[in-house]
Amino acid sequence: MKLDSLSFARRFDHVSGSAIREIFKVIAQPGMISFAGGNPSLSALPDEQVAVLAQEALSASGKALLQYGATEGYPPFVESLRGYLREHLGLDVPAMLPVTGSTQAMDLLCKALINPGDRIVVENPSFLGNLQCMKLYEAELVPVRSDGDGLDPDHLEQLFREVHPKMLYTIPTFQNPTGRTLSLERRKRVAELANQYGVVVAEDDPYRDLRYRGTDLPPIKTFDKEGWVVFLGSFSKVISPGLRVGYLAGDAGIVRKCTIGKQSSDVHTANLNQAIVDLYLRKNLLPDHIRRISSDYALQCDRMLSHLAAFPDGVSYTKPEGGLFLWAELPEGVSAVELLKKAIEKKVAFVPGTHFFADGGHENTLRLNFSASTPAQIDQGMDTLRSLISGELH
Amino acid sequence: MKLDSLSFARRFDHVSGSAIREIFKVIAQPGMISFAGGNPSLSALPDEQVAVLAQEALSASGKALLQYGATEGYPPFVESLRGYLREHLGLDVPAMLPVTGSTQAMDLLCKALINPGDRIVVENPSFLGNLQCMKLYEAELVPVRSDGDGLDPDHLEQLFREVHPKMLYTIPTFQNPTGRTLSLERRKRVAELANQYGVVVAEDDPYRDLRYRGTDLPPIKTFDKEGWVVFLGSFSKVISPGLRVGYLAGDAGIVRKCTIGKQSSDVHTANLNQAIVDLYLRKNLLPDHIRRISSDYALQCDRMLSHLAAFPDGVSYTKPEGGLFLWAELPEGVSAVELLKKAIEKKVAFVPGTHFFADGGHENTLRLNFSASTPAQIDQGMDTLRSLISGELH
């Protein structure tokens, strides 16, 4: 029998692969200036520190690190993670699970909770990798309105009442893709609503340490009384994405179900990778490192903003207090998808905003990453975009 | 609202967590002799080599390894893997995907192919981690009969005809848990039947390099004409399970769908881990290492077999040509679950066979791992088991 008679699982019916991952292949071309990824800058990646820590970990515990580990995580890492969450985030949670990047945290949470047809409220736009995850669990995505202070709690309450969602997926701090941050009052309100209506909140917070102005805000999880909020954390943006180390933290019953799910996802997160991050935390290397990379990223962010200020009238954009992304809106009728084609010919890449909307549309929007480009690249790339957009408008 | 009103996803209705993973916690007690896991022996774990290779990889390409990688894999590793498959296994496949341990390969294959209610034919007993995986995809597991030469192709054909399964899951070489190997003739026949009836074969082959007697047999995949067979490989048993590096290899369309699934499972397998295995292959360190560990494991296997020969009448057991496991059957009515409780009091652990059967039962069976114990531990542990079993029979 020919293989073309093979049918794939229904969960793929409306999923064709991450647009960002495809754009990654294009931006690998030499000479490309990329505002597309969510990559740390190369200079922000602590390769020399990691080489030293890897050596230290392997010398001290090589056999244990190469052996099978517990699904529940490498015990020293779980311990240092507990201290980190308490001291750094004010979180004292019943249970934690180290995972293979926080993308896996979202996957496991959906595995634990989502039946086909369950509704998940999402910001619109939101992180497309996790939108794809939720679609593969055949969830029905319900967009909640948002503004400059993040998602709108009144609309959220209306949705909680009317559509009875199983979960809210939110990126409260320096949101991907918009760069917006949920205000303190709204954080409290989201926790209250989740507790009142019995909706799980997946609080995805990988960017929070990259703050360039303003003051830190506590996680939604700190206002959670009954345990409905699950905090998803990552070391990808502050240490290394290539190591694939993240975690989820929250109620013991939910974490236990995610742990059982993880047994057949990948058994456990690689021990060496957990040990490297463990030593990074234990030696307290993170604060200095974050200070150094934040000061670079702040300059890059400001540089990109100063270019946007000179863009043609009718182009609007966010002014984030941290994170990796700016979000721009072109005049109605100008397509960022078409703009991308022309930009790539001129060796500049970004992600059209339409990919971040659960139901598409919004072709006049785009996401711009500033962390992975040098100031000179930002100058050159933004000049190119400005002249292309000006051309569209004349 | 109290959190106890939360309901988990239906896929967990019949899954309570891997018994092996739970037993792992018990065997972590000091002084325990464990025949329970599928762990390599500590002396088989090349910690000094890995430390050197990690350093080499991080010195040469530290920034690239710490940055995001492609879901499709770290390019040098994909290249060396291609060479390894061709030279070592006689496999020239259209596509490959590095994964986070071959457990993830099975997870992604189910994600790509399995709808709830789809039937998957499984050996009975089979590897319980992957049984749990298939149950979480709500597959209906259909057991195929087997004997000393592996699964019975006549029964397989009957099942292909009668129940129209979507997939066959098989561990053809030194099967987990029985240690049995599918004969050459049956390998050809399985490939033919899969091609004839249009059934995907998940050929899970992590133990094949650990052969202590007899001659190597080609993978089922080498007899596959149309691409129905997907080969799942692992470096866990021959280099390190803690690094979590495996792969799947087969038809480009199937591998592509698994790649899209992997985008939202964990984005990509950690680059450093792929780079370490890449260098291990590239420097051709594997043949010597396999020779060394196989010679130890062969002695351990023979030692355990010689003890079993002195067990009471009515105890039967397999005599595998390689791998990590022996399988024993106690006289009808003697429960290995009860035996385990007594054995643990005497500091000896194993896995009761019942956990490996899709529908339970077979309480008189047990799996014995010989790779993780020294000859002295095997002597002591097997003496304990013999005297406990003799006690049961008198």
Over residues B96-118, the pLDDT tens digits come to 999 999 999 999 999 999 999 99
E-state strands within A256-324: 316-317
Out of A42, A58, A196, name the one closest to residue B1 (CB): A196
Query: Does B241 contact chain A (CB < 8 Å)?
Result: yes
Smallest CA–CA separation between A320 and chain B, in Å?
A: 23
- DSSP 3-state percent helix, strand, coil across chain B (nearest 5): 45, 15, 40
DSSP secondary-structure letter at B304? H
HSE toward the beta carbon, residue B212, CA cutoff 13 A:
21
Query: Does B41 contact chain A (CB < 8 Å)?
Result: no
What's the pTM value of the predicted model, to 2 decimals? 0.97
Assess contact for B74 and B98: CB atoms under 8 A. yes
User: Which residues, listed in sequence order, are joined to residue A368 by a DSSP beta bridge?
Assistant: A326
Give B163: exposed, middle or buried? Use CB within 10 Å, 0-12, 13-18, 19+.
Answer: exposed
DSSP secondary-structure letter at B309? T
Q: Do A273 and B268 touch (CB under 8 A)?
A: no
- Which 3 state secondary structure label does DSSP give B308? helix
B contacts of A242 (beta carbons < 8 Å): 64-69, 270-272
Closest CA to B324 of B80, B44, B27, B38: B38
Which residues 330-369 of chain A have a CB within 8 Å of chain B?
Answer: none
From first to last of the 394 residues of chain B, give the pLDDT tens digit: 999 999 999 999 988 776 666 677 777 788 999 999 889 999 999 999 999 999 999 999 999 999 999 999 999 999 999 999 999 999 999 999 999 999 999 999 999 999 999 999 999 999 999 999 999 999 999 999 999 999 999 999 999 999 999 999 999 999 999 999 999 999 999 999 999 999 999 999 999 999 999 999 999 999 999 999 999 999 999 999 999 999 999 999 999 999 999 999 999 999 999 999 999 999 999 999 999 999 999 999 999 999 999 999 999 999 999 999 999 999 999 999 999 999 999 999 999 999 999 888 999 999 999 999 999 999 999 999 999 999 988 7
Assess contact for A268 and B21: CB atoms under 8 A. no
- Give the model's pLDDT for residue B18: 67
Q: Do A260 and B10 touch (CB under 8 A)?
A: no
Q: Do A226 and B40 touch (CB under 8 A)?
A: no
Helix-helix angle A75-89:A271-282, to 10 degrees:
40
Rounded Cα–Cα distance for residues B200 and B152 (Å):
17
Query: Does B263 contact chain A (CB < 8 Å)?
Result: yes
Rounded Cα–Cα distance for residues B344 and A252 (Å):
28
> Which pair of structure tokens corresponds to residue B267?
């984005």
Query: How close are the terminal C-alpha atoms of chain A, in Å?
Result: 57
DSSP secondary-structure letter at A211? B
Query: Does B11 contact chain A (CB < 8 Å)?
Result: yes
- Give the model's pLDDT for residue B26: 75
E-state strands within A93-216: 95-99, 119-123, 140-144, 146-147, 150-151, 167-170, 200-204
> Which pair of structure tokens corresponds to residue A245?
């180390």
Which H or E element spans position B279? Answer: helix B271-282
Which residues 111-130 of chain A have a CB within 8 Å of chain B?
Answer: 111-115, 129-130
Rounded Cα–Cα distance for residues B301 and B321 (Å):
9
Rounded Cα–Cα distance for residues A267 and A277 (Å):
19
From first to last of the 394 residues of chain A, give the pLDDT tens digit: 999 999 999 999 988 776 666 677 777 788 999 999 889 999 999 999 999 999 999 999 999 999 999 999 999 999 999 999 999 999 999 999 999 999 999 999 999 999 999 999 999 999 999 999 999 999 999 999 999 999 999 999 999 999 999 999 999 999 999 999 999 999 999 999 999 999 999 999 999 999 999 999 999 999 999 999 999 999 999 999 999 999 999 999 999 999 999 999 999 999 999 999 999 999 999 999 999 999 999 999 999 999 999 999 999 999 999 999 999 999 999 999 999 999 999 999 999 999 999 888 999 999 999 999 999 999 999 999 999 999 988 7
Query: Does B75 contact chain A (CB < 8 Å)?
Result: no
Assess contact for B171 and B178: CB atoms under 8 A. no
